[in-house]
Amino acid sequence: MTNTSDNFDFDVLIVGSGMSGGWVAKEMCERGYKTAVLDRGAPLEHGAGYENEGKAPWEMPNRGRVSKEEIERDYEKSSLCYAFNEYTKRHFIKDSDYPFKEKDGKRFDWIRSARVGGKSVLWHRHSYRFSEMDFQANKQDGHGCDWPIRYDDLKDWYDYVERFAGISGSKEGLPQLPDGVFQKPFDMNPVELDAKAKVEKAYPGRKIIIGRAAHLTEPTDEQLELGRGPCQARNECQAGCSWGGYFSSLSATLPAADRTGNMTLVPNAMVQEVVYDAKTKRASGVRMIDITTGERVFISARVVFVCASTLATTQILLNSKSAEFPRGIGNTGSALGHYLMDHIKGAGANAVVDGYEDVYYAGRRPTSLYVPRFRNVTEKTDAFLRGYGMQGEAQRLSWRAAIGAEGIGKDLKARVQKPGPWTFTLQGFGEMLPEHENSVSLSTTETDQWGMPILEISCEYGANELRMKEDMRNTATEMLRAAGYTKVQPYSEESFPGIVIHEMGTARMGHKADDSYLNRHNQCHNVSNLFVTDGASMTSSACQNPSLTFMALSARAAAFADEQMKAGAL
């Protein structure tokens, strides 16, 4: 370990190398701090480590599918993720290695990463800002504590992270979905443009836009210098993108940190607790286990950032017990471990589109359409609080429509060589209210193979979310019918928290220590050199994909920590 000032091993210690941890590493290393990044995951090298990138299905075991036996043995939860297959399997943890308990009979589908870079390697890259309305919602309707920041506090940081990450999108002038610093948007196909015109005419308060996504379409000099290039529209992103066309910590923030010479990246590092020093009243470092050797190590630092992903972060914080904080480091209030949120999905509609048989599309666009929230914005309802956005797309049925259908031989081949009719789909993604009873805690009887108490999760959707889900189905149906499409089929599938992979809360920001864990700078109220900037810090969930907000909060908190360190306060 590198010796730095005040006899600490490092100036800054970051737990987690994903969406949030990567940003903190970049910011602190570029500011000159000797920084350690510890990650539970196995090493993964950008480019060279993407061993299945570009492989055809026939080059993969089981044509890219994972066997039922292996799923049942090791990947019961991981296999529920849209990105899980033989190409990406090694990027997901084996659930059998990292058990948790679903408490009170409530199902939770916890999807977790097994590699350095975390879920930034696996995410689907939709990137939307929260709006002023989202930061005010808790205070206005009384659900959850008030955010200690507003949109203006984060606006410049959104600009900053968008510029570096590279977000493609269109400017729309919508207050509920603020515009940002965008590269050229991807194109809609003719059917999507048709739907946009018809739906917006029928419902002037609703908009259909191209999804804003963390994909380079016009790389900047800075992005090119990092070895990144324009998106190739392969839509095989989770298998790995050597081009760096999509943003991940592996392609962008960690290389930026590494080129400073100030970063020490430690994979296979299972952090179990943040250590509290009663004399200084600060965190002194962390205790971790080297997964490969079983060695237990203490690493010291002036400042500690915990960015291990929402629930893993809170598991570490709850396990960080001392005489001063017997319920977890800095935990004197009612928030740590509570107010767990995800989004709700699983409801929408599909339809067949007549005509347009003379047109097709090129490539595999890596983003979909987006319908920004309109419920309780331009269209009020008394049925539920808050609202939802929608994602969807138009595409032509392919040969996959013949899977399981009747036919064999020449006739079947001839049939599947031609594209089928156009189809259109819309699906809602709704906000989940922060509720105290949606919570996590440490087991008092069970530990994992490294002796860490396993996490017990008790979380379910409430009546507000279920009413919202019903509205998603009905509204998607009416929009597709308004577009004049046929064979409209509404659907509402059973889903459970966790599966949207947008976990938030459990160490939320707020104004005071009795009902929140962090202040407006993502700094622990009671331990000044301890910061949390991942999804655990979120005070409400809004309905937008949250990763862009994690990035902005991380960059902002790192800048604050830098100011405090230079001033001698940390």
Residue 291 token pair: 């997964």
Per-residue pLDDT reduced to its tens digit, 328-339: 999 999 999 999
The mean of the pLDDT values for the chain is 96
Per-residue pLDDT reduced to its tens digit, 200-253: 999 999 999 999 999 999 999 999 999 999 999 998 999 999 999 999 999 999
Contact 454, 447 (CB under 8 A): yes
- Tell whether the model's pLDDT for residue 517 goes beyond 60: yes
- What pLDDT, on the 0 to 100 scale, is given for residue 2? 41
- Tell whether the model's pLDDT for residue 468 goes beyond 50: yes
Residue 3's pLDDT band (boundaries 50, 70, 90)?
Answer: very low
Residue 358 token pair: 């003379």
- What pLDDT, on the 0 to 100 scale, is given for residue 5? 55
Residue 569 token pair: 């306060």
pTM comes to 0.96
Cα 570 from Cα 529, distance rounded (Å) = 6
Residue 210 token pair: 């191209």
Residue 226 token pair: 């990092």
- What pLDDT, on the 0 to 100 scale, is given for residue 414? 86
- What pLDDT, on the 0 to 100 scale, is given for residue 404? 81
Q: Which CATH class is domain 5-44+98-169+213-342+436-460+503-566?
A: alpha beta
Nearest to 233 by CA among 243, 221, 248, 224: 243
Least confident span in 170-184, 406-420, 425-439: 406-420
Q: Average pLDDT, stretch 158-182?
A: 98
With pLDDT > 70 as the criterion, what percentage of the chain qualifies? 99
- What pLDDT, on the 0 to 100 scale, is given for residue 123? 95
Residue recorded with tokens 């929402």: 310
- What pLDDT, on the 0 to 100 scale, is given for residue 6? 65
The secondary structure of 42-60, three-state, reads ECCCCCCCCCCCCCCHHHC
CA 13 to chain centre: 22
Residue 178 token pair: 């603020």
Per-residue pLDDT reduced to its tens digit, 10-50: 999 999 999 999 999 999 999 999 999 999 999 999 999 99
Q: Average pLDDT, stretch 403-417?
A: 86
Q: Which residues contact 269 (CB under 8 A, 6 or more apart)?
A: 38, 39, 40, 288, 289, 290, 291
Domains of the chain, by residue range, sit at 5-44+98-169+213-342+436-460+503-566
Per DSSP, which regions of 397-438 are E strands? 422-430
Contact 313, 532 (CB under 8 A): yes
Q: Average pLDDT, stretch 489-494?
A: 97
Contact 432, 541 (CB under 8 A): yes
- Tell whether the model's pLDDT for residue 317 goes beyond 70: yes
